[in-house]
Every structure is written in C-alpha cells, then in structure tokens.
Amino acid sequence: MDKTILVINPNSLEEMTREIEAAVAPLRISGGPRIECVTLHEGPPGINSQQDGDSIIAPMLKLMRNRERDCAAFVIACYGDPGIDSMREASRRPVFGIAESGILTALTIGQRFGVIALSAKGVSRQLRKIGSFGVTDRLARILPLEMAASDTMDESKTYDRMVACGTALRDVHGANVVIMGCAGMAGYRKPLQDALGIPVVEPTQAAVGMALARVSLNWEGD
C-alpha cells in the first residue's frame, strides 16, 4: 500500500516533530500506510494562543493542497485542532485533530475524562471545543500545567507537574481517564499512566491511529 498519512506539526519546532515521529512509530506497519511527519516552517515556535492557532491555518491549507494528491489523510498535531474545519472543508481526504481524536478515544476508555492542559490561557479554547463536540457531560475538568509548550521537552520541569495535575483530575475531579493536552508529551504517557493508575491518552497517537483505520478502510474512495 502506498498511501500516506501526513502528520503536520503546525509549529516550527523540529524537535517537536521528532517527538511526534517517535510517538507514531508503533503505528508504522509494514503493509500499512506511510506516516510522514512534517514541520510547518511558517508556524510559530509554539501554538500558545488562539492567534497562534489561527495564524497557521493559511500555510497549513497551502501545505495540504500541495499534498492532497499524494496523501490519504491529514493529522493536525496540535492540541486545539487549529484550522480543522477549514481543512475538512477544503480536502476530499479525512482530516483528524489530536484534541478531537484524543477525546473521542478517551470516551472508549473511561466515563469521565480529565485533560492536562499546557496553560491556563488555553482552557477556555478547549472548553469551547468540547462544547462544540457536544461531550461536556463527560468532562471532569481541564487542569493547566502552566508551562510553555517548548518547556515540555525539559523532563525535569514537566513530569512532576503532570503527575500532580493527573492526581488532582483523578482524586478531586473524578476523572477515570486522562488526556495529555499537548503534542510532544508522548514520552511521558506510560510513566504517567503507571503513576496515576488510570489510563492516559496520548492524543497524537490517538489521531494517527484513527487515520490509520480510515485510510485502510478507504471510505472516501479514490
């Protein structure tokens, strides 16, 4: 099969793209679709605001149009799913956002999901998304790490905060599944799950997993 899933890191950090590469490795199957991870060079170094998110829509659409012919699905690897509605409208291919895919995957695992967000500023954006998905009743709470996206690669700063947030989501807010609300945190998924004792969803893996299935099924035809 020569189909390609294009995973777009809409920020310009190559380091995060490499984290995404590592995250999706288990979904590379010899006979399955190619998975290609690209950096949107026009993007800012991190998507830390609605403006950052909106700013990458145009270049991401351009990238998508250039790859529409040779790609079978697109994944927007930024929690917040910037530009997903325009992407879906403009493409004949299925488009996945990691927030949507992460949440829908979490719904198959636990009855109330919590989200570890990068920053307090992003919580309202996430709540609007969850409202538009119509799944607010399943949300326990979104708790922010209060760190910049770029800092999430500094293990010593991040992991302890994630465990603290996850513990509060579980014990105070009644979550029985936790979503990591950021791309590039995949390396922490297993240790965090072990520390919390409840399942942890890595959203880029969730989204590329959904794309893998859809591309294989080829519902959209050729």
Closest separation between CB of residue 184 and its own copies, Å?
17
Task: Please report how the helices 98-107 and 203-217 are oriented relative to each other, as an axis angle in degrees rounded to 10.
Answer: 90
Select the residue interacting with its own copies from 2, 69, 92, 134 (CB under 8 A).
134
Q: Which stretch binds its own copies (CB under 8 A): 8-16, 147-155, 156-164, 189-197?
A: 189-197
CB nearer its own copies, residue 2 or residue 137: 137
Strand spans (E) along the chain:
4-9, 34-39, 73-76, 95-97, 113-117, 139-144, 177-181, 200-201
Token pair for 37: 């991870």
How far is Cα of residue 61 from the mean position of the Cα atoms in its chain?
Answer: 18
Does 217 engage in binding with its own copies (CB under 8 A)? yes
Closest separation between CB of residue 161 and its own copies, Å?
17
Does 127 engage in binding with its own copies (CB under 8 A)? yes
Does 218 engage in binding with its own copies (CB under 8 A)? yes
Closest separation between CB of residue 70 and its own copies, Å?
20
CB nearer its own copies, residue 30 or residue 156: 30
Closest separation between CB of residue 83 and its own copies, Å?
7
Closest separation between CB of residue 14 and its own copies, Å?
24
Report the alpha-carbon distance of residue 131 to residue 165 in Å, rounded.
22
Does 191 engage in binding with its own copies (CB under 8 A)? no
Closest separation between CB of residue 112 and its own copies, Å?
7
Select the residue interacting with its own copies from 15, 136, 154, 164 (CB under 8 A).
136
For residue 157, CA distances in Å to 28, 48, 131, 171 come to: 31, 18, 31, 22
Length of the chain measured in residues: 222
Binding mask 194-213 for its own copies (x = CB under 8 A): -----xxxx--xx-xxx-xx
How far is Cα of residue 158 from the mean position of the Cα atoms in its chain?
Answer: 18
Convert 140-160 to b/e letters by CB count within 10 Å (16 or more is b).
bbbbbbebebeebbeeeebbe
